[in-house]
Amino acid sequence: MIHWRRYFAELVGTAALLCAVIGSGIMAEKLAGGNVAVALLTNTLATVFALYALIETLGPISGAHFNPVVSMVLAFRKDLARHHLIGYVIAQLIGAVLGAWAAHTMFELEILQWSTKVRSGPAQWFSEAVATGGLLFVILRSPEGKASSIVACYIGAAYWFTASTSFANPAAAFGRMFTNTFAGIAPFDVPEFIVAQMVGGALGLALHHIFVHSDKHQS
């Protein structure tokens, strides 16, 4: 039962996060009058607020990963029991799709759709590696009890300083290919994003270890 609650928390949290990302993107496009900067700002704020709230409320149950790379890195570090990893990832992927469908339902859009929004090229891939590396770094370096605000702030900033608008999450990339709206990504661009995100996660972990050794040396 305890394991089931953890997986369900990851499913619900990822679904809610993707619903916020995609739903706010739809609303932003409707209200921004073609101003992409305003739409992105609206999308950013909704994502930041939702992420903070979800980490605070679901963190005590599952750790509030909502991200396969986060789960993989924490399983590698043995902060997450490795036999939970597959369940976490499956829950996150299912939740991402359900979140996209929930957003479509709220805005009376066709529920089943594929994105045609091209997001490709070396700059996009490098951006995803940077975004995901930074995300893992701030998660691993966050003082106890402060991860929700630090992670939310980082993602809000990364929306603007990366060319890819910081997906930083294979589940987000997977879920966003099911929406042909502002937040979407074409399915054939998703594999490259996921590879870049996994590379970024490994780099973020490596950078954290450098500072861990420095901390130990100073102490």
**CATH number reported for the structural domain that contains residue 190 in this entry:** 1.20.1080.10
Q: Is the predicted pLDDT of residue 217 greater than 70, yes or no?
A: no
For residue range 34-66, list pLDDT tens digits in order. Answer: 999 999 999 999 999 999 999 999 999 999 999
Question: For the chain, what is the domain count?
Answer: 1
Which tens digits make up the pLDDT trace of 148-176?
Answer: 999 999 999 999 999 999 999 999 999 99
pLDDT of residue 182: 96
The answer, yes or no, to whether residue 219 has pLDDT greater than 60, is: no
Which residues, at least 6 apart from 6, have a Cβ–Cβ distance to it below 8 Å? 61, 62, 84, 87, 88
Residue of 147, 140, 125, 138 whose CA lies nearest to 199:
125
Going from the C-alpha of 142 to that of each of 44, 105, 137, 184, 198, the distances in angstroms are: 21, 36, 8, 30, 20
80 to 73, 132, 140, 150: CA distances (angstroms):
9, 19, 13, 21
pLDDT of amino acid 212: 85
Domain range for 191: 2-218
Q: pTM for the complete prediction?
A: 0.94
